[in-house]
Amino acid sequence: MNVARDSCVILLFLLFFLPRAFGDEPVVTVLADFETESVTARISEVRNTLASDCRLATATIPARSGQNSLHVSIGATRADTTVACSLRFRAATLFEQADRVATYCHLNDGEVELAFRVRDAEGRLFETRATRLRAQRRFVRVSAELDAARLRRIDGSDDGDAKPEWPLQIDGYRITTRRIGRQDVFLDDLQVEHRVPRTRVVRGEFRFDNPTRLYQPASNVSAAVIVENLSRRLRLDLNVRLVWERDDGSVLRREDRRVRLPPSGDDYRAMQTVDFRERVGAPGVYRLVASVRDADWSSDAVFETSFAVTPSNRALPRGRETFFGLRSNLLREPPADQRLELSVARELGVQLLVLDAPWSRLEPDRGSYQFAALDPVIDALVATDIAACLAIVDPGVGGERAPLALDLDGRWFVG
């Protein structure tokens, strides 16, 4: 009897006192607010209209207090026109568990259906149930369940009952309008509601005064840690410890700051920027480790990044026979990342940059050549005294066009 009683006590302890796999604290992670260069978008699919009649851009409208939003402009020539927008995040975010996805939508007039698209661990594309929206001339929060039973596979498979494999990643939106004519849809604050352990209710992000994170010896490195409270109910009193580490693991400097964050809300993200500054002399790769802790936590939330200290090679003379060169897939990157990679190449002293140029982009239609997309990159290279070379990428097996043609020809914007 004692053995049975002890077994029951142990079972009850395991059921009620051990933490769950994904955590019990509900949080809301904002994936895209279209205010920074952390996300790009492209038109990935159109139905019953031409891709050239649809546009993506960032736009500011009074209904959102001057904030930026994603403006989807649809030129519908037939009923049931559909446009799908794929988002590309600078920091990919996978969710081992998620309850629902949400966004804010604004319509000036008309009526649309809005659905969310997600990719599972195997790269398959699924779609949530669509929500019908009518023009209200204000932002309305739209959400959809991410339960496996409510997701429908849409990437060409006949298996409509397929269930997604976790983790999931948000892919973007699908918009359908039955109205003929111009339809303007504004989207903002793409969010995911999920549950996490208590130590993961904060999100940390590093910012540097030099986006390339390449510094010359004896430079003053200015860094900032942005700490955000993802919880809608917890008030946090945090200690932020930042450790500057040399490449051999030794500590250059350690400093502590106090941060107090209220709960976040529907129209408010509770975040605070903590600034740090250090003079770094010796060349090498340095690490920044930020440990964030609340008095009620059993462990720290740890965020880390790195930067390099090296003499600049920008003044290296370019030889006539030998080049310091790199090869890059730069043309497939959004404009913000193109500028960043060009700045890194300049700091490294690159003299020749070989660009992979897919033939499907240079000749989208047989006999029709388009080189305008190359001009901004080539002009930037010439301005920094870097020689450019194009490497024509094989269009595909059997002479077929590359399957990435739609991806490459999509209209990018930086949000």
Decide if 46 contacts 54 (C-beta within 8 A).
yes
User: Averaging pLDDT over each range in 7-21, 52-66, 287-301, which range is the top one?
Assistant: 287-301
For residues 138 and 43, what is the distance between their CA atoms, to the nearest angstrom? 24
Structural tokens at position 192? 């995911």
DSSP track, 121-174: TT--EEEPPPEEEE--SS-EEEEEE--GGG-EE-SS-S-TTPPPPSSBEEEEEE
Q: How confident is the model at residue 276 (pLDDT cuts 50, 70, 90)?
A: very high
Q: Is 390 helix (H, G, I), strand (E, B) or coil?
A: strand
Q: Is the pLDDT of residue 398 over 50?
A: no
Q: How confident is the model at residue 397 (pLDDT cuts 50, 70, 90)?
A: very low
What is the pLDDT at residue 362?
A: 81
Average pLDDT over residues 255-276: 95
For residues 415 and 398, what is the distance between their CA atoms, to the nearest angstrom? 38
Tell the residue number behind the tokens 């599972």, with chain if given.
Answer: 120
What is the pLDDT at residue 141?
A: 94
Strand boundaries in 39-151, DSSP class E: 39-47, 54-60, 68-76, 81-89, 100-107, 111-119, 125-127, 131-134, 140-145
Q: Is the pLDDT of residue 10 over 50?
A: no
Q: Is the pLDDT of residue 122 over 50?
A: yes
Q: Is 346 helix (H, G, I), strand (E, B) or coil?
A: helix
What is the pLDDT at residue 21?
A: 44
Domains and CATH numbers, the chain: 25-196 (2.60.120.430), 201-309 (2.60.40.10), 325-414 (3.30.750)
Q: How confident is the model at residue 147 (pLDDT cuts 50, 70, 90)?
A: very high
DSSP designation for 319: P
In degrees, rounded to 5, the angle at the alpha carbon of residue 376 between the alpha carbons of residues 373 and 379 is 130
Q: How confident is the model at residue 18 (pLDDT cuts 50, 70, 90)?
A: very low
Average pLDDT over residues 239-251: 94
CA diameter of the chain: 90
- CA 51 → CA 48, 102, 346, distances in Å? 10, 26, 36
For residues 134 and 136, what is the distance between their CA atoms, to the nearest angstrom? 6
pLDDT > 70 in the chain, percent: 85
Structural tokens at position 334? 């959004």
Structural tokens at position 34? 């279209």
What is the pLDDT at residue 61?
A: 75
The 10s digit of each residue's pLDDT in 339-362 is 888 888 888 888 889 888 888 778
Average pLDDT over residues 16-40: 78
Average pLDDT over residues 397-402: 38
Mean pLDDT of all residues belonging to the chain: 85
Q: Is 370 helix (H, G, I), strand (E, B) or coil?
A: coil
Instruction: Find, among 146, 184, 175, 169, the residue nearest to 57 by Cα.
Output: 184
For residues 272 and 71, what is the distance between their CA atoms, to the nearest angstrom? 28
Average pLDDT over residues 160-187: 92
- pLDDT: is 135 or 139 the higher one? 139
Q: How confident is the model at residue 330 (pLDDT cuts 50, 70, 90)?
A: confident
For residues 196 and 102, what is the distance between their CA atoms, to the nearest angstrom? 18
Q: How confident is the model at residue 395 (pLDDT cuts 50, 70, 90)?
A: low
Structural tokens at position 111? 């009526």
The 10s digit of each residue's pLDDT in 206-224 is 999 999 999 999 999 999 9
Q: Is the pLDDT of residue 321 over 80?
A: no
